[in-house]
Structure 1
């Protein structure tokens, strides 16, 4: 009983067998009762037919004629006077004569069933009264041997046994087919999940329809595809992190060995130490970014929301980045005409803008222009950062928020960065219940747009703009 098909088949068979047994028993009882009732009704109708003749012609010849008619049938008749003295009978059977007796209750016009116990009694019988001008002049007793009834019930039982045998056989056959049809896709799904557990995610399940099994098959295929993506992403992550960590460590180790092993001038030492410090800072930033992402994944990254003025945050960001833009001969324009307020973490909001603007600065050349604009539509605050930089290829746009993904496939160090900045930006925007989208064209520039809900423009009127 380890196979699911056998278990399902056994359960179905027992349930159907129980239901069929109940139905067969009920049907058999109903048929037997109905058939016996038909025999009794027919016997009573025959007695009433004789009564109708005898009431009009209550003579010895008519009585003898009635008795003679019943000798050729499966039923018997006994005609008596009002005192139950037998005037004529189609049978001399003593048991039949002994059953010529009136019931305790009154006999109606349509006759009365005297005995209906066909299982234990030798006869079933009815009685009809003969009347003349309102007075009872005699009785017509009708009898039928219960052996004929038993024979009838026996044939009925044989038919039921044959029907039951055929029904059970057909039920077993249908259950076998259904169990196989139901368990076959489940077995394939079991094999597919085993393949997934072994690391083989390239599975394909047949279409099983639009029922629960079909949904389960699609879910397993979707799981396999997701695991394929996650495995690839994990491998890319490990390759990226190893590269990003190895590069600054190689620089630090190499220049440290040069300083220790060579007799260098003070200027050369300072130059090499500056490189070591730069790579150490780069390594520290990378570790900090990884630590932030790890906390975001574990939902332990704290966002301390308070009422913030977005205009003030953008002014701080402009003060911090203006020298860097000027040094690179670039222009930064931030347009925020009003004081826009929302509930956010001011430190994390500043981090979002710094990362995006730093990214814009890295991928724009001399003379490039970066514009930041803010717009409030009802309670939704839209912040748009548009630059005139190199742009992002269309095939790279769906992936730029992935960790360690860089449009710069050669990973040149001239631009710096480990490909984590945009990942952190997206996580932070999501933490603030916002959304971020990107549009870009090669050599024309890139546009990032963020949307934050629940903002307003007047600090004294919290419902304004909502």
Structure 2
């Protein structure tokens, strides 16, 4: 299996490659610029030598020409040669003079020349202006030189003055320059490598921490969290990961609680059903009481069926599988229908109904959704309202929403329980199990249906006095 590099190694390798490439390009540019500068400086230096040698040649104009054969006086030749030697000593440049035929008449540095004449092509070019060439001057030198040439007139005679500097100096200059550049480059690479490694660890450290937290999370440890540090982007990434982990932990806790609640809610009625049936089968329950206990079994079976149906409804609602058929209609019609359907229970409980009816109040929602919400709330209200108590209804328009309030007298809800009344299987007294108080799914279904309808729902209560459920729905047109 191929081993992948870590992020820090990839980052370091990338930065190192960029640095090496950048330094290489810089070296190439620096070399080219340095060579051009050296040649330019050499040309300027040789031009200065030409100017000095030409001025020196003019001094011999009255004594005799040094560009005419035969030379007029050996003393003139010796003095001219001595003067040119001064330039050779001071600047390291060769100085020589040639006539119109290219024959070298006077020069310094005997070892540099091969004895060949200057090609006439260069003589012709010098008649048009100064020249600057590189190489052996077509065999005049035994090595390569930079050569500057100029046509001069001394004592009425035309001659051709040359100054030359060895090209080997460029090699030495470039070697020195490259040596200094190499030292600087090594220092830069070392410092940048250290800095890049520190920066890579600073950047990749939080990423590795997040990766480790992700591995723990993937293995089932939902308490795994990543440290929120580093740059803004990595801190945001860690925060997002932690939020996701927290939600997954909540979901996992909810799942475990949900499974426990289901087991608890199903076990109680099933135990009751099994106990009564076993009693009838083994004769513990007399035959004359069989009908009574079969009625209880039927009731428990019906509650089991309702519990299963409620769980199926919640699953479909949360998965978005239930279509919404919203329409505009009168809210009071649904409230009245629900109250009339529970009329017998209301009368048996001696409960007083208040606030029912009124002017039509249009809402825009699915009638089945609203009917289920009102039914669940009224069902709870009937269960928890004592004999002689009151259930009251109120509704009014608030901007573009209709606010509905259903209140009942009674024990109410404890303040610490209010935030949880809409959670699945939540019951304020968890010891009751499956009884007339319900399974704890009705209010959760209400919350889902109201949210799907575009509204909000919450509970209010004063413990020992009253309880009120308030929800909103969009106004109908």
TM-score range, shorter chain: 0.7 to 0.9
Matches within 5 A, 1:19-30: 19-30=22-33
Aligned length: 452
Matches within 5 A, 1:24-43: 24-43=27-46
| 3-state SS of 1:31 partner | helix
Q: 2:149 maps to which residue?
A: 127
Do the aligned partners of residues 68 and 106 (structure 1) sit closer, same or farther apart at CA in structure 2, a change above 3 Å counting? closer
Cα pair 1:311 1:340 within 8 Å, conserved: yes
Query: Which of these residues, 92, 97, 103, is aligned with residue 74 of structure 1?
Result: 92
Partners of 1:354 and 1:263 in 2: CA distance:
37
Instruction: Output the aligned Cα RMSD.
Output: 3.4
Do the aligned partners of residues 413 and 115 (structure 1) sit closer, same or farther apart at CA in structure 2, a change above 3 Å counting? closer
* 2:134 is the alignment partner of 1:115: yes
Partners of 2:194 and 2:375 in 1: CA distance:
72
Query: Which of these residues, 192, 196, 201, is aligned with residue 180 of structure 1?
Result: 201
| 3-state SS of 1:395 partner | helix
Q: Cα deviation per residue 1:29-74 (whole Å; 9 max; x = unaligned)?
A: 2222223322223322443454466568756678556413212122
| 3-state SS of 1:289 partner | helix
Matches within 5 A, 1:401-412: 401-411=422-432
| 3-state SS of 1:366 partner | coil
Matches within 5 A, 1:3-402: 3-4=5-6, 5-51=8-54, 58=61, 63-64=80-81, 66-72=83-89, 73-80=91-98, 86=104, 88-92=106-110, 93-95=112-114, 98=117, 102=122, 105=125, 111-115=130-134, 122-130=144-152, 137-260=158-281, 261-262=283-284, 264=286, 266=288, 268-334=289-355, 337-402=358-423
**1:137 shift after superposition:** 4.4
Instruction: Flag structure 1 segments of 5+ consecutive residues without an equivalent.
Output: 457-461
Do the aligned partners of residues 91 and 237 (structure 1) sit closer, same or farther apart at CA in structure 2, a change above 3 Å counting? same
Partners of 1:328 and 1:222 in 2: CA distance:
48
| 3-state SS of 2:132 partner | strand
Do the aligned partners of residues 279 and 263 (structure 1) sit closer, same or farther apart at CA in structure 2, a change above 3 Å counting? closer
Q: 2:4 maps to which residue?
A: 2
Partners of 1:55 and 1:370 in 2: CA distance:
131
Q: 1:459 maps to which residue?
A: none
**1:122 shift after superposition:** 0.7
Structure number, greater radius of gyration: 2
Q: 2:69 maps to which residue?
A: none
**1:279 shift after superposition:** 1.0
Cα pair 2:457 2:470 within 8 Å, conserved: yes
**1:233 shift after superposition:** 1.2
**1:295 shift after superposition:** 1.4
Partners of 1:35 and 1:336 in 2: CA distance:
105
Cα pair 1:307 1:343 within 8 Å, conserved: yes
Instruction: Flag structure 2 segments of 5+ consecutive residues without an equivalent.
Output: 67-75
Cα pair 1:384 1:447 within 8 Å, conserved: yes
Q: TM-score, normalised by structure 1?
A: 0.84
